[in-house]
Amino acid sequence: MNEFFILMKQELVITLIIFILLFIKLSSKQWSNEKVLVLINVLLLLNLAAGFLFPDTGDLFGDMYRTNPLMAFEKNILNLGTLLISLQSYNWLKTHKHVPEFYMLLLSTLLGMFFMISSRHMLMFYLALELSTIPLAAMANFDLEKRRSSEAAFKMIISSAFASGLLLFGISLLYGATGALSFSALGETLRQYSPLHILGFIFVLSGFGFKISAVPFHLWTADVYEGAPVAVTSYLSVISKGAILFVFVTVLSTVFSVYGSSWYFMLYFLSVLTMIIGNLFAIRQQNMKRFLAFSSIAQVGFILIGITGQSLEGNVSVVYFVLVYIFSNLAAFGVISLISAVTGKETIDDYKGLYKTNPLLTWVLALALFSLAGIPPTAGFFGKFFLLLAGAGQGNYILIAIAALNMVISLYYYLRVVKAMFMDPNDHPIETIQADWKPKLALAICVIGLLITGLASGAYQYIYSLFVLN
Amino acid sequence: MSGIPIYQILIVSTALFFIGMYGLFTRRNMITMLMSVELILNSVNINFVVFNKYLYPGQLDGLFFTIFIIAIAAAEAAVGIAIIINLYRNHQSIDVEDASEMKY
């Protein structure tokens, strides 16, 4: 019983917070938005701190659930990202009518992601995946009166339902071929190549492809990112994608490790397509959210290179990149969400001349974009460097060359935004933004994280040691 | 029961899967698209039950999986219909061609 509480502590804390919110919503006393927001931010901070206590290794529920220090660390990364998003969206939520509901949905999806990271059984994995996507579709619809918001939500629920249909069909074929559903048993029985195994694997891979928005399956991403409220967009592009990537790495390296040589070529193909198409579409975007959506598709291409490395270093570099990506993307989305909440402006043309009126925000956004492009002093450079290094371990230098070319292309469109902000004249620039201290604190944490994880080598080594321990 | 060979049932379930996929891509009515997704999930259910019954009669894993899929599909449909109702209030239509503000 004691073991149960210690091993599942992160999930239990989240569940507790959801219940507290439920009672706040149901209580007869009317809570003001400020009060709820302060309370929930304090609770999220406590949740983040509690995640670092008592790291332990163990299995629960007959091998369905497993936790170890690495998984606890991955969950802590997600906790940190959620706290940052919650602080950043303060200005937007302050005037919203449904604050407790928003956080209930947000934390349900986080709970789903935690279970997904810890799952060791296909049934557990499927349930956790659905818990983490169905409430997200409801969250995408949170600007209830906006047409775009509901359109985005519909696109999201249909494509995620279809994706989980594909995934399930693949799982059912694998079940038929092997009679096993737990990851370890599947990994042991999937020894030889049979057509049914490969077909099942392709279906599972396409299901994952939808969720991480790799290119042939990316069509929903840009629309959902553009239509959803900014807080939800940043949550989707950072937290949700990060969690799926963690699980993707686990599934590939435990269940399908035997098929390494065949999924190497599938991922090779996917990552080349993802990088090229993501970058080329990002060039022509005018809306900042849509622009970041395509840039995040392109980033997934780079992450897939790290996974094709099929080595310990490859898996470490994926987790490290997600950590760096959380800081850089949340810094960018933090600035965008502040400007969008105060002025409602979201296109790149509106950002012209931003430096004249908001120098500090401009620097933060520029730094975030440099990190996304991978320019040396920021953490993004090291993230990409480790991914490519892991990919190069396979000896396929064509892939690395294509990736390097794509980094040059991506530099063009990131610098386009920077140029618009610093150099282009504008008769009606965005007025000076008066922000609360909470979004500012979140931006400061992101900037510090960007520089610290880039300059201190400790982070990468720490993740490496966790993987070795695993 | 024992007279029906397994491959016939698998043909039915695979056909159901691709009918659902076809419906999802060609239908223009949102409710029908949701129904097509349900077809896909039901074909998976048939797969699980058949594999469990014919190939691994000693286990219950496949049957359990089916029960969970049915429950999740209901939840998915509930959220989907709620979103469609809200979309109808904003667009006055549930034709996907009308919900096309964001493209490229």
Q: What 8-state DSSP symbol labels residue A60? A: E
pLDDT class for B52, splitting at 50, 70, 90? very high
Residues of A within 8 A of B41 (CB-CB) are 165, 168
Establish if A109 touches chain B: CB-CB under 8 angstroms.
no
Ordered by start, the domain boundaries in chain B are 6-91
To the nearest whole Å, the CA of B67 is away from the closest chain A CA by 11
CB contact under 8 A, A179 and B55: yes
The residue among A297, A129, A293 whose CA lies nearest residue A208 is A129
To the nearest whole Å, the CA of A57 is away from the closest chain B CA by 26
A192: burial class by Cβ within 10 Å (0-12, 13-18, 19+)?
Answer: exposed
Establish if B74 touches chain A: CB-CB under 8 angstroms.
no
* Spatial separation of the C-alpha atoms in residues A129 and B55, rounded to whole Å: 27
CB contact under 8 A, B102 and A223: yes
Are the beta carbons of A59 and A71 closer than 8 angstroms?
Answer: no
* Spatial separation of the C-alpha atoms in residues A275 and A407, rounded to whole Å: 9
* Spatial separation of the C-alpha atoms in residues A87 and A75, rounded to whole Å: 19
Establish if A165 touches chain B: CB-CB under 8 angstroms.
yes
CB contact under 8 A, B76 and A157: yes
Are the beta carbons of A210 and A159 closer than 8 angstroms?
Answer: yes
To the nearest whole Å, the CA of B3 is away from the closest chain A CA by 20
Establish if A151 touches chain B: CB-CB under 8 angstroms.
yes
Residues of B within 8 A of A227 (CB-CB) are 101-102
CB contact under 8 A, A172 and B44: yes
Contact partners, residue A438, CB within 8 Å, separation at least 6: A41, A87, A88, A90
To the nearest whole Å, the CA of A320 is away from the closest chain B CA by 32
**Please, what is the average pLDDT of chain B?**
90
Residues of A within 8 A of B90 (CB-CB) are 145-147, 150
Establish if B84 touches chain A: CB-CB under 8 angstroms.
yes
Whether residue B23 has pLDDT greater than 90: yes
Architecture of domain B6-91: Orthogonal Bundle (1.10)
Amino acid B2: pLDDT: 63
Amino acid B1: pLDDT: 54
Residue A176's closest chain B neighbor by CA? B51
Amino acid A1: pLDDT: 67
Residues of B within 8 A of A144 (CB-CB) are 86
Amino acid A136: pLDDT: 93
Establish if B16 touches chain A: CB-CB under 8 angstroms.
no
* Spatial separation of the C-alpha atoms in residues A60 and A57, rounded to whole Å: 10
To the nearest whole Å, the CA of A153 is away from the closest chain B CA by 7
Per-residue pLDDT of chain A (470 residues; tens, 9 = 90+): 678 787 888 899 999 999 999 998 888 788 888 888 888 999 999 888 888 887 788 888 888 898 888 898 999 999 999 999 999 888 888 888 888 899 999 999 999 999 999 999 999 999 999 999 999 999 999 888 888 899 999 999 999 999 999 999 999 999 998 888 888 888 888 877 788 888 999 999 999 999 999 888 888 998 899 889 889 999 999 999 999 999 999 899 888 888 878 888 889 999 999 999 999 999 888 888 889 999 999 999 999 999 988 888 888 899 999 999 999 999 999 998 888 888 888 888 888 888 888 888 899 999 999 999 888 878 888 889 889 988 888 888 888 999 999 999 999 989 999 998 888 888 777 778 787 888 888 899 999 988 888 777 778 888 888 888 77
CB contact under 8 A, A169 and B59: no
CB contact under 8 A, B61 and A175: yes
Residue B85's closest chain A neighbor by CA? A150
B53 is written with which tokens? 């019954």
Amino acid at A134: I
To the nearest whole Å, the CA of B1 is away from the closest chain A CA by 19
Stated as kind and residue range, the H or E segment containing A67 is: strand A65-67
Q: B72-88 pLDDT, tens per residue?
A: 999 999 999 999 999 99
To the nearest whole Å, the CA of A469 is away from the closest chain B CA by 32
CB contact under 8 A, B87 and A153: yes
CB contact under 8 A, A176 and B51: yes
CB contact under 8 A, A137 and B69: no
* ipTM value: 0.94
* Spatial separation of the C-alpha atoms in residues B24 and B35, rounded to whole Å: 8
Q: How far is CA A265 from CA A259, A310, A394, in A?
A: 11, 12, 11
Establish if B83 touches chain A: CB-CB under 8 angstroms.
yes
CB contact under 8 A, B83 and A157: yes
CB contact under 8 A, A146 and B90: yes
**Rg from Cα positions in chain B:** 17
Predicted model pTM: 0.92
Q: How far is CA A161 from CA A156, B36, B61, B72, in A?
A: 8, 10, 22, 10
Amino acid A60: pLDDT: 84
**Which one of B22, B60, B70, B72 makes the best mutation probe of the A interface by having the most chain A beta carbons within 10 Å?**
B72
Q: Which of B40, B50, B96 sits opposite A165 (nearest CB)?
A: B40
